[in-house]
Structure 1
Amino acid sequence: MSNIDLDICFDARELRNALGRFATGIAVVMAQDEEGLLGVTVNSFSAVSLDPPLVSFCMARTLSSLRRLEAATSYSVNILLEHQSEISHRFSRPGTDKFANIAWEIGPSGAPRLKHIHACFECVPYAHYDGGDHVIFVGRVVHLLAEGDDRPLLFYRGRYHRLHPTPP
């Protein structure tokens, strides 16, 4: 392949709007270190590999707790249920006590994890990659929890959405 220099013919808002046309689930990434608990909402979660079991998510370089998350020895990726948009909002805002009145526990990996969610992937760090204005995290799944048949919280075109029931 040749390395072609093309001019970008769109701005950041146009790119964000176009990317918003891809529906995603909503997750909360959680970790704990000597400074305490940390958690942040993401919609960039993705499967990477089954063997070894790898998942990924991205974090903005402007995130105040980025350094702490990069140094974490374990973390959890918690997939939210369709009625948990308030949890998503809470963990997307800086400076709030995100863990107050939230049901959570320490998982087998040592990472904090939410209770009563769609699924949880507890991970140990596998790799970090440069992703422009983001850092790409790849975690090796060491424990998972996926129970029940409830529906996930979805994000599409800048808003939360719910899956419609499938007719029988």
Structure 2
Amino acid sequence: MSSGRPDAAAFREVMALFPTGVVAVTAQGDDGPTGLTIGSFFSVSIHPCLIGFCVNRSSRTWQRMRKSVRLCVNVLAEDQHRVSRILAHQVDPEGFALVSWPANGAGIPAVAGALAWIACDVVDLHDAGTHSVVIAAVGDLAIVRSGGPLVHCQRRYHSITPIVAPTS
């Protein structure tokens, strides 16, 4: 056990061992639909329905999205790793053109083929290191299709296979 603070590389290595679901947060930007990949999405409360996610404050995409009244969290399917990469890396400015963005039932751009979408309004932001913890109130949601979720672990995408029967 180390007695000092871990360096960033060691911290990243340990955290890579913990699997996380992958979502895409989307919005209508000034220049059209936009989105980014998030690996730190979570349920906050059922009464009222609140969700949360963490986003790097220096993200240019996030800076554009913060102006939006409503956001959409898209639960990506196990076959959507390409969409996740496009929205995560944004190395190709034309990459967004490769993502299909139909409006969902709430009128917000959504990622075509996602398992589900959650329309929400940001109600609180908390600064935490280089990131902001975003808390949002759920306004509407829908399951779009069945399938397994996209999971990220050890710097790779995975699908999940249940190993035990669900509890009742």
TM range, smaller chain: 0.7 to 0.9
- Corresponding residue of 2:13: 17
Tell me what 1:129 maps to: 126
Q: 1:72: how far off?
A: 1.4
| Equivalent pair of 2:75/2:116 in contact (CA under 8 Å) | yes
Shift of 1:100: 2.0
The equivalences for 1:44-123 within 5 A come to 44-94=40-90, 95-123=92-120
Task: Tell me if structure 2 keeps the 8 A contact 1:90–1:96.
Answer: no
- Rounded to whole Å, the distance in 2 between the matches of 1:129 and 1:109 is 26
Determine the C-alpha separation between the residues in 1 that align with 2:52 and 2:164: 33
Counterpart in the other structure of 1:35? 31
SS across alignment from 2:113? coil
Deviation track 1:57-84 (CA, whole Å, cap 9, x = no partner) reads 1111221123222221001111111111
Report the 3-state secondary structure (helix = DSSP H, G, I; strand = E; otherwise coil) of the residue aligned with 1:71: coil
Higher normalized helix content (fraction of residues): 2
The number of residues matched between the two structures is 162
Aligned-partner residue type, residue 19 of structure 2:
A
> What is the deviation of 1:147?
4.1
Amino acid in structure 1 at the alignment position of 2:42:
S
Distance (Å, rounded) in 1 between the aligned partners of 2:136 and 2:27: 13
User: Gaps spanning 5+ residues in structure 1: where?
Assistant: 1-6
- Superimposed CA distance per residue, residues 121-165 of structure 1 (whole angstroms, 9 cap, x where no aligned partner): 111111111111001111111111114431011101111111125
Query: What RMSD over aligned residues (CA atoms) do the two structures have, in Å?
Result: 2.0
Asked if the contact 1:153–1:160 (Cα under 8 Å) also holds between the matched residues in 2, the reply is yes
TM-score where L is the length of structure 1: 0.87
Any idea what SS the aligned residue of 2:85 has? helix
Report the 3-state secondary structure (helix = DSSP H, G, I; strand = E; otherwise coil) of the residue aligned with 1:41: strand
Q: Identity over aligned residues, as a percent?
A: 28
1:41-100 Cα offsets, whole Å, 9 max, x none, are 110111111111111111112211232222210011111111111011111122423332
Taking the aligned partners of 1:66 and 1:90, their CA distance within structure 2 comes to: 15
Deviation at 1:111, TM superposition (A): 2.0
Three-state SS of the structure 2 residue aligned to 1:52 is: coil
Q: Any stretches of 5+ residues in structure 2 without a counterpart?
A: none
Q: Judge conservation of contact 1:109–1:123 (CA < 8 Å) in 2.
A: no
Is the CA contact (8 Å cut-off) linking 2:125 and 2:132 kept in structure 1? Answer: yes
Q: Which amino acid aligns with 1:91?
A: L
